[in-house]
Structure 1
Amino acid sequence: MATEIQVGELLQQRGWRTAFTVAERVSAWAALVSAIERGYGGEISEYTNDLYCRNWLHEAWLLLDDHIVQLWTPQIKALDDRYKAATVNDDGMALAQFHRLPGPGLWWWRRHPRILTGDLGSSLRSAGAIGVDPDTA
């Protein structure tokens, strides 16, 4: 198992744009979850790009020292639970209309925001997503 710096560098060599840290990716995941809870108003391409912060964490967890994993897992699990509460599981049907879905183990790609607002909401609704419209709620 590797240190956080080694994992960041290794994942960058595998194609990530920079050698991220766990703290950076957890912070990005927290920001995305908060935005989804409020009603994510960005475009579908921004949303799919933002989901990759969770992919990084998934990849890093397979490589990191146990100590680092144990330290961060409770916070990530809490964010995952908030994400699940703020999203709807449609097995990726709506999102797959706009972005190739990664493997089935990456469950966050198979959900979409419960609150459908802005450009993302319009796009997902056009692909059959059902959710809450904040303007009519």
Structure 2
Amino acid sequence: MAFMVAERVNAWAALVSANERGYGDDIYEYTNDLYCRNWLHEAWLLLDEHFVQLRTPQVKALDDRYKAATIDDDGQALDQFHWLPDPNLRWWRHPRILTGDLGRSLRSAGAIGTAPDTV
């Protein structure tokens, strides 16, 4: 299980970094990528308390970076492309920097963000 947790934390870190510089894939890959954070959320309920205490600071730091790199629109833009699994999953947000296919899709759904050349 520890290997899988490390893998999902690494996937979350990669998605956070991608959001910080401008996510380069499409809306369907983006919503698929968000499931790595869903997995972590669900796994935290099953993991040993000591293990959770060791990993929580890293995940919290990634969550904070992700929040800074994204916009919360109550899931309205993403919901037009993918059913939101739970409104309490606070990481179902869209990138602040809207670029490429993802940016075009989200703008068509009414999302507001910045273009990569204005950041």
**TM-score computed with the length of structure 2 as normaliser:** 0.96
Aligned pair partner of 1:25 in 8, 20, 23: 8
Equivalent position amino acid for 1:96 in 2: D
1:42-82 deviation digits (Å, cap 9, x = unpaired)? 01110011000000000000110001100100000000000
Equivalent position amino acid for 1:95 in 2: L
Task: Give 1:54's aligned residue.
Answer: 37
1:135 partner SS: helix
Number of aligned residues = 119
Aligned pair partner of 2:52 in 69, 75, 83: 69
User: How far apart are 1:41 and its partner, in Å?
Assistant: 1.4
User: How far apart are 1:107 and its partner, in Å?
Assistant: 1.0
Sequence identity, in percent?
80
Aligned pair partner of 1:79 in 46, 50, 62: 62
Task: Give 2:88's aligned residue.
Answer: 105
User: How far apart are 1:135 and its partner, in Å?
Assistant: 3.1
Pair member with larger Rg: 1
1:63-121 deviation digits (Å, cap 9, x = unpaired)? 10001100100000000000000001100000000000011221111x11000000000
1:20-40 deviation digits (Å, cap 9, x = unpaired)? 611000000000000000000
Consecutive unaligned residues in structure 1, runs of 5 or more: 6-19
2:71 partner SS: strand
RMSD: 1.2
Consecutive unaligned residues in structure 2, runs of 5 or more: none
Q: Distance in 2 between matches of 1:86 and 1:135?
A: 15
* Range with bigger deviation, 53-62 or 98-107: 98-107
Which of 1 and 2 has higher RCO (CA within 8 Å, sep 6+)? 2
Task: Give 1:116's aligned residue.
Answer: 98
Q: Distance in 1 between matches of 2:34 and 2:51?
A: 22
Q: Distance in 1 between matches of 2:45 and 2:34?
A: 18
